[in-house]
Amino acid sequence: MNDKVTIKTIAKIANVSHTTVSRALNDSPLVKEKTKKEIRDIAERLNYSPNLNAKALVEHRSFIIAVYFTDLNSGTSPSFMSEMLHQIKEMLPAGYEIAVDSFAGLRQANQSINLRFDGALVVSQSVSDDLYIDQLAKTGKPVVVLNRKIDRDDLFNYASDDYSGTVTAIEYLLRMGHRKLGIISGKEEFTSSQNRLAGFLDTLQKHNITRNDNWVATGDYSVQSGYNAMEKILNSGDLPTCMFVSNDDMAMGAMRACEDYGFSIPEQISFMGFDDSAYSNYCIPRLTTIRKPVREITNNGIKTLNSLINNESPETVQAMNIKPSLVVRESVKKIN
């Protein structure tokens, strides 16, 4: 029914040139008020809306922000993704679209990066993303990498200092009297898993606590994987007094396994999570965890990206490794 209304359609009706229409709709001071009004009325009446592809072509910007995740299917917890998108949407100037994609998807389809964006926000989990980050950087368009510390200094980069967060966590557990500590680690290829594992091991070593390999298990950040990992540990004979679990989702799975095996939390086994997901304050018992500064990371990211897109120099520093904070709740018991 709408045989696509363009500025030329309007021009014909208003008996002016298409340029005048273009100007009128862009509120240029070069057009008489009366003409402007006429043109706008016609535009409204015909339900005109500009062809953004044409606009993008001629203006060299598309009003699209690309948001790349490492993987949309696994490893990225729903509440993390949802909070990210929500924040991004919230802070993005009106008129911008968010294009969501994943490197895993590109890799699978053997595709290269789509260049139709004014700036890209990369929510990176793994060093394997570097290949694509490099492709993005080569476009010369603004790129901000979030969530994982990268090894280059030409891009803006905001991440959570997972190592220090974990050190905080473990030192708290030690202060609470725990010496028999286990860990459920996340996806091995994810930088966050590696840092959290390293923080755990280093802190034990620093305090001269020998680790028990039976209490070290690996999941993939999913709830079920936490359950499975904990089952393995529970079946291994001697038990830890406390588990550090690399994210809250897995912690929920692990706590469920304890429940099923008849171990009470935190009386028999204490639990420390990571992330401070939306559910950790409601599970039973409430999960003591490390709050990942998702909001800060995201806010910095978009603020910077916005500045870069508008050719301003960003207010924030080039790279930040934001320290997570301890959230004490009910899942860790003080022992002696």
Place of tokens 């949309």: 72
Least Cβ distance, residue 58 to DNA (angstroms) = 4
Chain center to CA of 302: 12
Under rule CB under 8 A, residue 105 binds a second copy = yes
Among left, alpha and beta (phi > 0; psi -120 to 50; other), residue 110 is left
Residue of 12, 13, 16, 236 that binds DNA (CB under 7 A): 16
- Rounded to the nearest 5 percent, the helix, strand and coil shares of the chain are 45, 15, 40
Under rule CB under 8 A, residue 30 binds a second copy = no
Among left, alpha and beta (phi > 0; psi -120 to 50; other), residue 195 is alpha
Nearer to a second copy (CB atom), residue 15 or residue 47 = 47
Tokens of residue 75, six digits: 């490893």
**Separation between Cα atoms, residue 263 and residue 256, nearest integer Å:** 10
Site string for DNA, 49-88 (x = CB under 7 A): -xx--xx-xxx-----------------------------
Nearer to a second copy (CB atom), residue 102 or residue 203 = 102
Listed residue (137, 248, 133) closest to 196, CA to CA? 248
Site for a second copy in 53-92 (CB under 8 A): 53-54, 56-57, 62, 64, 72-73, 76, 78-79, 81-83, 85-86, 89-90
Task: Work out what residue 279 binds among DNA, a second copy, none; the CB cut-off runs from 5 to 8 Å by kind.
Answer: a second copy
Nearer to DNA (CB atom), residue 42 or residue 88 = 42
Place of tokens 């994982």: 148
Q: How many residues bind DNA (CB under 7 A)?
A: 27
Residue of 19, 111, 205, 264 that binds a second copy (CB under 8 A): 111
Under rule CB under 8 A, residue 235 binds a second copy = no
User: Is 267 strand, coil or helix?
Assistant: coil
In sequence order, the 6+-apart residues with CB closer than 8 A to the CB of 48 are 5, 6, 7, 9, 10, 25, 42
Place of tokens 């790349």: 68
Under rule CB under 8 A, residue 51 binds a second copy = yes
Binding site for a second copy (CB under 8 A): 1-2, 47, 49, 51-54, 56-57, 62, 64, 72-73, 76, 78-79, 81-83, 85-86, 89-90, 94-95, 97-102, 105, 109, 111-116, 138-140, 223, 227, 252-253, 255-256, 259, 278-279, 281-284, 286
